[in-house]
Structure formats: structure tokens, C-alpha cells
Chain A
């Protein structure tokens, strides 16, 4: 060794130092390259090992052969081998850059364990806030932003105001608008969540922030959806739309619930089931004591609440969620150079835009920034795709049509994604995706999808079918629920239980949790085209929720029948002229009034009190009083708790 070093000193200085330089640079580049390759766990393992071993042996070869040529003064050969080494160094650096970009991008979309929670105290603009005004707050003590942080804010700013408890954010905000409360505590995503409560003005324009309190902490609900599954097993995903006008997705961005899509994917059969859940579907919100509300309102309690609410509805575990920024849709579709979609013609107010589908742009701007699309099969750019996916006002089905259009967009994007051809395309697409989505799927789990994606890509390139996307449809019906807090009605959607059951069973089949009977017979005719079964579609029996009907003017027996059917206690009160609930428009002996308002959810009732106008005869009065007292004794507690008379409205829940 000493002899070699001595002889090396006699070699041309430039050649000698360049030799050292290439050795060091090659070693560093090779190590970086190796680390990046190791990060790609599960991807082409044999190939990675071959590359690492080959380049390692080349390194040894360069040490020996380079040294030999230097010592024997064969500078031409030395230059040649050094050029080859330089090429390899470049390959290492370029590869490391791309692999690092991909891995970094994938790591970025993984939502961190600790999140930044924020609570805001807001008031209406042009109103004064002082210690005498009431502040509305959600009465759920598990809600970090709606309750837990509010206690800290109150303490920090030494607020002495009376706190009014609400079970529902919508009720609270509407009461704020109506001036019934002076201020309200709202979660960080309130701007997106309550934007449609007033059609004329957004919450951002109507309100202003008084105080704000922030804290970074681990998810406190204990409901974080963490799965150990990867793409070797059937998986479920919940796609949640985030309405952000920024180009990137804020890691703590609030989901506003316009897009809620459930996907079950089986990598063995390459089957996927896609279910869009209408945002107004009325369901028990799991993290709000299972109180019934529109499913999108679960977003106010965080992503985990949305996941758990949907999981409870579909009776299936949701392995991972994916938040998608709407702006990201624009970037992604443009990166794909557009997608092929058959745009449906408007079915409501078609004349408004001369038969076109028009919607605000991705920055929520109207006027000359409106995006308009003609109906028919065409290539949509990013803004057009987003506009089509968002629009509901021009379709009779409203949100139901909107979810169908969103599925069209998802399908079109999925098919186009597997046809990208160049590295440049891939980078654009990857950037569009990684900057605009967030998920709780860890990077190594995402990488496990490599084999599936590769298989699908190769099939697509060979012109074969590579994925089967099946849609499920949850049949719904209009459910105008009476809201005691506001005295108004909310336009919710109830679902048919038969439709939901069919979907639940289909999901289980896709996930391999339920055996699907193998079909061993077949029929085919060119004159009778086959119609594919869509899970849940057309099944409109057994509505999930019923509302209190109008019994006024009906016979008492109808109320008895109704209460027996719904297992409610019936209280009959006979009232005289001049007394409360007396209805002079109804004949004596018929139902003049009812305590439960028309449109109240029957599920939330345990009893019903009907008021029957008296004819004024004494014996009827005495028997009425007896029954009234009897009933009162039986149901006193219920009446006290559930009486929805004015003044007790806020105590209803």
C-alpha cells in the first residue's frame, strides 16, 4: 500500500487529484442513490438489488482499473474510464432527485399525527360585542375546536358572557344571523362549512372574528382511522372534497362536505365500487352523540368524525381517507391535457345560460369569470371539469345529479391517468396530485400499490381492460326536517334502508368479507342487451326516517294508530275555548293541535300530546281532566323534557 502511494505521488498531479475527486463524488452519489432505492420498499426489489450490487462492483473496478492506468501512465484509458464514471455519477444524481421528489411528495400527503386546532369567536359585522351578549357553543365536550379550545379561549380573554349550548352548528349560526345570540364559537373550517347557510351572503361577508385560539395537539377524538392494510388486500377509501381557493392543500384544511365518495377496491380482481353520498343525507353523527344531522355537518368535528360517521352508515371499516382540494382537480385535469366526459344537459332553468352548464370558477368568481360548458361528449379542461363537478343548481336532481357528475369526472380521470406517456407528464401529474391531496395512508402503504398500478398500466398500454369501476347509488327522498332551534325547516335527504342494505352487502362482497355466489349459468341475446346491476339502485322501500305528519283535523284513532306504529306514548288533552291549543276551526272531538311540530323527526320523539277541542259539556271535561292527569303522571318527565312550546325550544335537546 505504501509503495502504491509512493508511486502515485509521481503521477501527474491533475490526473491524481481528479482520480481522488471522482472516487469521493462517486461514493457519495452512490450512497445517496442507494438510500433512495432502499426507501422504495416493495418496488422491484430484485431490480434494486441488482442495481446496487452492479454499481458497487463498478466502484471497486474503478478504484483498481483507474489506479492501474494512472500508475502505468495510460492517461487515455484513465480519461475514458473517468468519463464513464462521470456518466454514472450523473445517473445517480438525476435518479436520486426523481426518487427523492416522488418519495418526498408521497410523504407530504401523509397527514401528520399532530394537527393545528383553531377555534374562532365570531360575531356579525356591524354589531357590538360586550360581556352582556350571549355566546353560542356546541355542547359536545369531545369536540376539540367546538368546545375544548373554547374553554381555553374563555379563560385567556376572561370572558364573562353567558354560554348558550347548541347541539347543531347550523342552528347556532342561523341564530347568530337572527341576532338571538351575540357571538358564536366556530371551528377552523367554518368558512367552507357554513357557506351555503345564507344563499345571499357568505359567512365570510356576514361575520368577523373577535378572538382566535390555536393549539397543536394529537388527534383527541380517539377516532383516527388508522389501518395496517396495504394494496395486497382489499381496501376502502373515503374521498372528501375540500373547498379551498389556494393552489395547495393546507394540511389542516377544513372539509366542507360537498364531495363525499366511498371507494372499495379489490386489487385481486381489479374491481372497484364507488358510492357518492349526497351531502344532505340525514344520519346519526357518531361524534355528536349520534344526533341526526346532514352528513356533511360531521366535518365540523374533524376528518375522523366524517370517517366514523360514514363507516357507521355503511357498517364497514374505512381504511384510509383522502382529502382532495378542488383546486387540485383543475391542476390535475390540465396536467392530463383534459378528460373526455359526456356532459349532461341542464334539466332546470336551462334557458338561464342558453342550454349551457355554467358555474363559478375555481376561485368562486361569477360574472365574466363564469365557466360555461355546452352539453355533449367533449374534452373538458380543468376549470370546466371542476365547474361540472360542482354544479347542482341547473339540475332537477340537485345534489343527486351533482354526485353522478363527480363520478363521471373520477372515472374519466382514472382512465386518463393510466395513459400518461412521458416523464414530463408524470411530473406534472404527480405535482398536481401531491400538492392537493392529504391522506392518513403512510408512504410505505402507498408504495405497496406499485405492483397494482404497474399491472394496470401494462394492461392499459396493451389495450386491455385494466380496472372495473362499478357505481352504487343510494336512493334518497326529500326530508324537510323541522328545526326547533330556528323554527324553520332544513332540506335534508332521507335514504331508503333497502337501498342501503344492498350497498352494504355489495361492499362486503368486494372486500371479500362475504362470499359472493359464483354464477355458473349464462344467457345472452343480441336482442335483449344485458343491464348491469348497480348496487342500491331502484330500491325504494323502507325509508330510514319519518317525519311527524299533520294530524290536525284528524280523528283521535289516527293518532292512536300512529303512536302504536311508532311506539310513542299518546297523551290526550281536552281543551276549552280560550285555553292554549284550542282550535276553533276544528270540530270538537277531532285533533285541534299537536305538541310535536309537523316535520319533527319521529326518531327523536318518545311521546305525542294531542289537543282535542271540547264541546263544553261537564262530564267530558271531568273525564278529560282525569285522563289528562293520568297521562301527565305517566309522562310528566317526558313532557318537561320534550315539550316544544315556545320558550322551551332551546331545551328540546
Chain B
């Protein structure tokens, strides 16, 4: 820790010295490729806020461009190549499905740095970055466990992939911790964004007696339904504060700017390395939106204390004793889950009465 701080301040010093020289140079060109439109109000919107944060932080020293609504698959490699040919010095690819296209293009442009969001393949000039969203779900799960009156909380899941399964497990574990009677209902929407279906999913959960819903999908449709029913939910991907103070009582949102500013800074000062960054609340990548006055003060304080201890690295949301849903042991008392285990997580923890679709 000490050494890293020292290095950081040394590089900050070098950066300060380098600024006059840099100012005469061409600005650093930073490219982004988005899977959705910047106006999706969710995933891509948050990445674009991150891009704007880079512009704000570095001003004339950077020049950013983006390509939006680039579908995964046949068009990705061409779009990435176009970004590379347009003279970008670093390219951020913001969807999982771009992974192999990034690897192909990066091999052709060894001087350009690439960072791929949510993937797991790296190279000399390719790093990865992702958020520990499950840390945020620990906090919202705690609030959900306290706020439910029916002792049934719901989760609108997207696809059965590790990130989503981590989120469901984390939310359940922490709801259960504060409310031993809580039950979790899971609905798979098989979409990241389908407002009509998300609304149906929220209603289906409420019909089952659920009164607090966590969502992994990106539209505000579930919140709109919760509002009509007078029940509670959380913002996802973006803050969704237009539904505050209720039904949106808090949110887990992606603050990619925290990463982009750091990453671009490292490129500017020449310290960038292809890393596997998996940042959580402590790194600022995963943010908890304001906990509104609909939540009692003691619950709010409890949730904020949890957030603080996760941020400080004092507490890991997957700490034993924990068993898998099939009853086999997973983590012993005090043991924490390894990143490798989490990144391929394909099981529910004990107590969740649902199947992961195969």
C-alpha cells in the first residue's frame, strides 16, 4: 500500500512536470464503442456519463468520440477497426459480446490500447474492467430485508450468467441476515431491456406477495408498476432518481467515470498496464444512490455502515459460513469467496428456492 501511494504521488509529480510539454502535443484521442444508444437511460447512458467525466477532468488534453448502437456480432470488429483507424489512442469496448472482436482488432493495432468491459480475455495491449455489482446488492438487499412486510422480496433477473447470479445471492444473503424469515423470488426476463416485459415481471412478483423488488434489468418499468401498487424498488444501472423518494428507495448504479478518469490518467502519464480491474464500492465504480426518507433512519444507518465497511475492504459480501442451494458446503466460517469462484458462479446459495435455468 505504502509503495503504491509513493508511486502514485511520484507519477502525479511527473505528470505535473509533463503538462507544459503535453499541451503542445496532440490531445489523447479516446474512443468508445457502445452496444445501445447513449439515450438508453441505463447501461450505455452510464458509460457515456463516464466519457463526459473524462472530458471534464482532462479538458483539452483529451478528445473523445463514440460509436453508439453497435450490435454485438458481425458489425463489432469493423466498428472497432474504424475507431482504431480514426486515430484513437485508447478504445473502451463496453459490452461483453465485443470480446473476441476486441482481441482481433487489438492484435492488428499493437500501439493502441484497448480496455474491454465485463470480459475475461487480455493481451499486451488489452485490459479488462468490470464492477463488483454484488457489493451494491449487499446494501440494497439489506434495505429490502428490512423494508419487506410480507417477508417476500423479488428479483427481476436478466440472463443466467455469473454477474447476475452473484447479484441474486448477495441480495438474498444480506436480506436474510437482517430478516431470517425472508424469502426470495426470482424471475428471469431473458432481456437487459424490455420495458413491457419488465413491467409484467414486476406485476407477477407482486401477485406472489412480493413487496420489495430488486431488478437487474435496465428500464424504469418495474418502478412505475411498484409506484401504482405503493411498494418499493431500487434503481439499477442508472440512479433512476425521478422515481424517488418512493418507490425508488435507493439504487445501485454504475459509475464508470471513476474508472475512465483513472485509466486515461495512467495513459497520459505513461503508467498504463493491461490489468484485470474488478472494482467495487471502494473504487467508486459501483455507487449506491441516495437512500430516501421512505427508509427509516436506523435502516438507512445500517445500510450505510455496511456500505462503508465494504468500501474500506473490511467486509466481503461472500463470507462464510455459506452453503450451496443443494446443501453442500461452500465457505467455512470466516472464509471469503475467491474472485475466480465468483466469476464462474453458477449456483444459488442455500435458502433460495429457485432453479437456475440451464
A-B interaction: no
Interface residues of B (CB under 8 A from A): none
